[in-house]
Amino acid sequence: MKSRFQTLLEGGSTPLLADGAMGTLLHVQGVELDHCFDDLNLTEPARVADVHRQYIEAGAQLILTNTFGANRYKLSKHGLEGKLIEINHAAVELARRVVDASFKDVLVAGDVGPLGVRITPYGRVQLHEARAAFAEQIGALVEAGVDLIVIETMTDLYETVEAIHAAKSVGAQHAAPVPIVATMTFTRDDRTLLGDDPAKVARTLHTAGADVIGVNCSGGPAQLVRILRQMRQAAPDARFWVKPNAGWPEHVGGRVMYAAAPEYFRDFVLEFWKAGANVIGGCCGTTPEHIAAMRRTLDLQHAVTVESVPVLEILQNSDAPGAEPPSGLAQTLAAGKFVVAVEMDPPRGLSTHKLVAGASLLKEAGADVIDVADSPMARMRMSAWAVCDTVQHQVGIETTLHFPTRGRNLLRVQGDLLAAHALGIRNVFIVMGDPTSIGDYPEATDNYDLVPSGLIKLVKQGFNTGIDHSGASIGQPTSFFVGAALNLCSPEPETEIKNLRRKLKAGADFFLTQPIFDPETARAFLDRFAAVTGSPLDKPVLVGVLPLASIKHAHFLHNEVPGIVIPETTRQRMEKAGENGGREGVRLAIDLIEQVKPWMAGVYIMPQFHRYDLVAEIIEAVK
């Protein structure tokens, strides 16, 4: 049995007209932007009802419930997660009362927005957790009697697909499945925040099972006509929903303002219709006046000729050169040779003389690769890939670039990776990075779009296959050899094993560990991993070695640095050494390396206080 929504779509001679913005009108009425708009269904229902009434009077045939943020994650920020069911039920009942009072045949759509958290592979919320959260809200909306579900303003394609699956699973539990609309929002370059283009979005949402797909929010009508055409070209059999913003927002006098007037929307409604839109409405910045202007145009126009769908051209890169051979580090590890890597910090100023001198000393001693840290301890330093380029060209030794995700959005991540590859850097060590709050500029932002496992996946399954995050060609594959962090002495081994498995699944090639001082504990972790997974870790691990400089240094690390535990016997040796603590630290490091040599692929030495001379002694003793 077809739903009312499907019947109207199939039988109507003109597109359905949906409502406009809810939040814009509530904000104009004085509701602060940081207030929980969804809670108004309970605390100020008259405000919400008045918005619904205005859109129905303007000619909307479909209104969205005031539930855009009524999921457990967003509600928890206001301490309202316990009222999730009540808020969603109240929103539907409120919309229904307004519709009934209008004596018009208006559809009520359950509005479902993003969860407000990052999901895997770009965040910590797992797919099944996201699906459960969506199912919780959608279940409440369907139970309250909505005519359809609208999943809107989504930025993450993975999250959108989980929302669709959740809606389908909820619908399967009812006698008549509720229709599903899924729409995403795009940035100024016609891609989602995570880099997906309209064609990929359209194919993915249509394949996932949404009854209607489309675009909302984003920029103004001109951009969305362009995006609609691209989506329809990629999924010509789909039905489409379009709700543009009233242009790009501007902040004027403490308020968010939108430039596009109702007359502008009136002129574009026929463009949307010709481009293949089945449902048209407005998003942020639009008002009942915008909807009324579109209503008048649709009522005067009985029919238009919908544009034919152009043939989708598939671009091929048949002339693109193939991937390069593995890096020197990759080849050395593959050959089973014991690797010695040494970490160096970039200079705080312009001079690289000391850095080059230290790298030359380490190369002469037998180091295989120099690891260049990126803003360690969130301190301002020269860019790490500039240092890698300097060391590789002036010293002639391969480098590994430390590549923190913190402080980089998705655009910068990909641009920086391309820059590193262009400079000849082939080894990258992907890590979260230190928070800016502990460094030179605690007020600096340190937001990020990707967690380490997500960035590993982007490199290994994206760049190294010749495509970027959105699936667009980058001309030729990169040949990055990707490392990841590992804590062999974690106080929470179960969590560390879980993270390790996630990084392995993403495609990590090797691992660098935090400094260890107790080889037996490290070996026990690897045995535990093998027992949990049923097989030993099959990727090379370079064990972190941090030479101690003094007993004071040892006490500091043991007591104040999270994740580092120095055994009592080691501290006793350092205390006994007295003023010769540095020499004893060298002997301890050599002893530790000899112990791990039989079962580790190599070591990763972290010089303290730039004592590269002591590290050179260690390398010469163990090579």
- Provide the percentage of residues in the chain whose pLDDT is more than 90: 70
Looking at the structure, give the CATH architecture of the domain made up of residues 338-622.
Alpha-Beta Barrel (3.20)
**Phi, psi at 542, each rounded to 5°:** -100, 115
User: Across 206-261, where does the E strand assignment appear?
Assistant: 212-217, 239-244, 250-252, 255-257
Q: Which residues contact 470 (CB under 8 A, 6 or more apart)?
A: 191, 192, 194, 195, 196, 197, 200
Query: Is the pLDDT at 160 greater than 60, yes or no?
Result: yes
Instruction: For 313-325, write each residue's pLDDT tens digit.
Output: 433 333 334 446 7
What is the structure's pLDDT at 317? 35
**Residue 141: exposure state from Cβ atoms within 10 A (0-12, 13-18, ≥19):** buried
Which comes out higher in pLDDT, residue 220 or 97? 97
Q: By three-state DSSP, how is residue 145 classified?
A: coil
What is the structure's pLDDT at 547? 96
**Residue 417: exposure state from Cβ atoms within 10 A (0-12, 13-18, ≥19):** buried
Contact in structure between 185 and 154 (CB atoms under 8 Å)? yes
What average pLDDT does the segment 349-357 reach?
88
Q: By three-state DSSP, how is residue 594 classified?
A: helix
Give how far Cα 499 sits from Cα of 427, 456, 491, 508, Å. Answer: 21, 13, 14, 12
| Residue spans per domain, the chain | 4-300, 338-622
Which comes out higher in pLDDT, residue 174 or 66? 66
Could you tell me the two tokens for 163? Answer: 């929302």
Could you tell me the two tokens for 496? Answer: 């560390």
Residue 378's pLDDT band (cuts 50, 70, 90): low
User: Across 464-552, where does the E strand assignment appear?
Assistant: 481-486, 510-515, 541-545
Q: By three-state DSSP, how is residue 430 classified?
A: strand
Instruction: For 110-155, write each residue's pLDDT tens digit.
Output: 999 999 998 887 778 999 999 999 999 999 999 999 999 999 999 9
Instruction: For 471-499, write each residue's pLDDT tens digit.
Output: 888 878 999 999 999 999 998 999 999 99
Instruction: For 429-478, write each residue's pLDDT tens digit.
Output: 999 876 655 455 566 656 677 889 999 999 999 999 999 988 888 878 99
Could you tell me the two tokens for 481? Answer: 């050899």
Give how far Cα 266 sits from Cα of 19, 261, 270, Å. Answer: 14, 9, 8
Could you tell me the two tokens for 277? Answer: 């839109």
SS3 content of the chain, % helix, strand, coil (to 5): 45, 15, 40
* 597: number of Cβ within 10 Å: 14
Could you tell me the two tokens for 238? Answer: 């789909």
Contact in structure between 154 and 160 (CB atoms under 8 Å)? yes
**Phi, psi at 282, each rounded to 5°:** -135, 155
Chain CA centroid to CA 487, Å = 23
CA distance 14 to 478: 49
Instruction: For 414-427, write each residue's pLDDT tens digit.
Output: 999 999 999 999 99
CA distance 105 to 100: 8
**Residue 501: exposure state from Cβ atoms within 10 A (0-12, 13-18, ≥19):** middle
Query: Is the pLDDT at 190 greater than 70, yes or no?
Result: yes
What is the structure's pLDDT at 315? 36
pTM attached to this predicted model: 0.62
What is the structure's pLDDT at 329? 96
CA distance 263 to 602: 69
Write b or e for each residue in 14-47: b if 16 or more Cβ atoms lie within 10 A of its Cβ, otherwise e. bbbbbbbbbbbbbbeeebeeeebbbbbbbeebeb
CA distance 218 to 184: 9
State the average pLDDT for the chain.
90
CA distance 551 to 585: 9
Looking at CATH, the fold of the domain delimited by 4-300 is given as: TIM Barrel (3.20.20)
Contact in structure between 192 and 200 (CB atoms under 8 Å)? no
**Residue 318: exposure state from Cβ atoms within 10 A (0-12, 13-18, ≥19):** exposed
Same fold, 4-300 and 338-622: yes
* 331: number of Cβ within 10 Å: 12
**Among 567, 549, 550, CA closest to 558:** 567
Instruction: For 241-284, write each residue's pLDDT tens digit.
Output: 999 998 766 654 555 555 678 998 988 999 999 999 999 999 99
